[in-house]
């Protein structure tokens, strides 16, 4: 039996300002306002033996204060527990807040705590997280998203794409879902011509099309040799996504907006995704992510985790078939370390755990914190 016990949990609410307002299709169709900041929830877990684990989750637009409040309520459940019993502790945390559900904000509040426990366990073993779990590869193909938003003129998107490829990134994703389908097709045409046929190109509609529009657009987009078409429909429309996956050659990717393994299971049952895009901070952490990855592999699906490359690089490296990790530079100011990218791939760090330490900026942007002992 391990003699180590959890003695402290520190939670920090962090508000990360973005350099410029970000707009995707949800802004152009009036559903949301431009995004100007990202709310993050950091968890630092300490033990009797002096070990420390770091985890984080996030919320875009509303939800950050709610995640922080829920995590503060359930964090005392960890005090005195063996930090190696991660699956047991995930279940304990989930049941502590079960009256508000097993997905959504309740799951997202658990994620930083769960991720911190995995970070701590890998540090105890002296291994990168991917190696602790069991890696299939030491690097993962990566594509860039942050340079292809709809608010950027197409000339800027082309410039950003060139810069990404020159930095070693292997693929480019751009946003679509503009109210004018002609604008979408013109932008995709320009980017494909700029990149050539050999560079991986993905598009992301951010759930903006109805079923009729999605069929029309997927038919048009089939000719561009895309790596995938992402979220052409509402994230919960498993039946609609499945129909598109059956009808068109271009793979359909979805799953980033779902907040539980159960919701992803419905996608898989329906055959709604050729490429599954789970997000560990959204579904409750690494523990449920690994359960979902096993299910996805049994159904022969590709895996391309959404956002949070600092976490998902490790997880994508453990998936049996080759997938993709999404390069987003938004979170880089929060950490002292940087991901290494070369020849279209992101390399798994050789540092123990996630291999991350928080920067001075994280402390500067902290709006609230609490320590539980």
pLDDT along the chain (373 residues), means of 10: 87 95 83 90 98 96 93 98 98 93 93 98 98 98 93 95 97 96 97 97 97 98 98 97 97 97 96 98 98 97 97 98 95 96 98 98 97 95
> pLDDT tens across 187-213, in order?
999 999 999 999 999 999 999 999 999
Q: Are residues 191 and 49 in the same domain?
A: no
Please tell me whether 310 is known to bind a ligand.
Answer: no
Beta-ladder partners of 44? 10, 54
Domain count, the chain: 2
Q: Are residues 17 and 121 in the same domain?
A: yes
93 lies in some domain: yes
What pLDDT is recorded for position 90? 98
Please tell me whether 256 is known to bind a ligand.
Answer: yes
> pLDDT tens across 34-67, in order?
889 999 999 999 999 999 999 999 999 889 999 9
What pLDDT is recorded for position 2? 60
Q: The domain containing residue 91 runs over which residues?
A: 6-126+360-372
Which residues are marked as active site?
175, 306
> pLDDT tens across 125-158, in order?
999 999 999 999 999 999 999 888 998 999 999 9
Q: Are residues 265 and 175 in the same domain?
A: yes
Please tell me whether 200 is known to bind a ligand.
Answer: no
Q: Are residues 175 and 300 in the same domain?
A: yes
Closest CA to 57 of 255, 311, 371: 311
Q: Contact 40/58 with Cβ under 8 angstroms? A: yes
> pLDDT tens across 20-37, in order?
888 888 888 888 888 899
What pLDDT is recorded for position 25? 82
Give the contacts of 59 (CB within 8 A, at least 6 positions apart). Answer: 38, 39, 40, 41, 66, 67, 108
Q: Are residues 151 and 112 in the same domain?
A: no
């Amino acid at each position: 039996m391990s003699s180590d016990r959890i003695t402290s949990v520190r939670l920090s609410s962090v508000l990360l300002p973005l350099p410029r307002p970000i707009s995707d299709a949800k802004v152009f169709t009036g559903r949301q306002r431009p995004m100007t900041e990202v709310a993050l929830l950091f968890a630092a877990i300490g033990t009797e033996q002096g070990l420390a684990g770091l985890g984080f989750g996030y919320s875009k637009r509303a939800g950050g204060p709610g995640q922080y409040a829920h995590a503060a309520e359930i964090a005392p459940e960890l005090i005195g527990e063996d930090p190696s019993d991660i699956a047991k502790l995930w279940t304990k945390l989930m049941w502590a807040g079960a009256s508000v559900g097993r997905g959504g904000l309740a799951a997202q509040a658990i994620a930083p705590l769960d991720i911190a426990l995995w970070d701590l366990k890998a540090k105890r073993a002296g291994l990168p997280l991917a190696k602790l779990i069991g890696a299939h590869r030491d690097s993962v193909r990566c594509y860039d998203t942050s340079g292809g938003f709809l608010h950027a003129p197409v000339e800027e998107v082309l410039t950003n794409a060139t810069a990404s490829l020159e930095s070693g990134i292997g693929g480019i994703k751009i946003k679509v879902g503009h109210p004018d389908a002609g604008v979408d097709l013109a932008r995709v045409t320009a980017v494909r011509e700029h990149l050539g046929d050999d560079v991986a190109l993905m598009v992301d509609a951010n759930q903006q099309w109805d079923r009729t529009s999605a069929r029309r657009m997927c038919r048009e987009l089939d000719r561009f040799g895309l790596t995938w078409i992402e979220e052409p429909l509402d994230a919960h429309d498993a039946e609609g996504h499945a129909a598109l996956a059956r009808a068109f050659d271009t793979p359909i990717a979805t799953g980033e907006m779902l907040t539980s393994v159960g919701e992803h299971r419905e996608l898989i049952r329906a055959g709604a995704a050729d490429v599954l895009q789970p997000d560990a901070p959204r579904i409750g952490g690494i523990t449920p992510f690994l359960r979902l990855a096993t299910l996805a592999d049994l159904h022969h699906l590709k895996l391309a985790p959404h956002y949070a490359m600092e976490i998902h690089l490790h997880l994508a490296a453990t998936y049996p078939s080759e997938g993709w990790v999404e390069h987003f530079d938004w979170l880089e100011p929060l950490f002292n370390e940087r991901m290494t990218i070369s020849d279209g791939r992101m390399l798994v760090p050789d540092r123990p755990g996630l291999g991350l330490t928080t920067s001075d900026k994280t402390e500067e942007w902290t709006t609230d914190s609490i320590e539980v002992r």
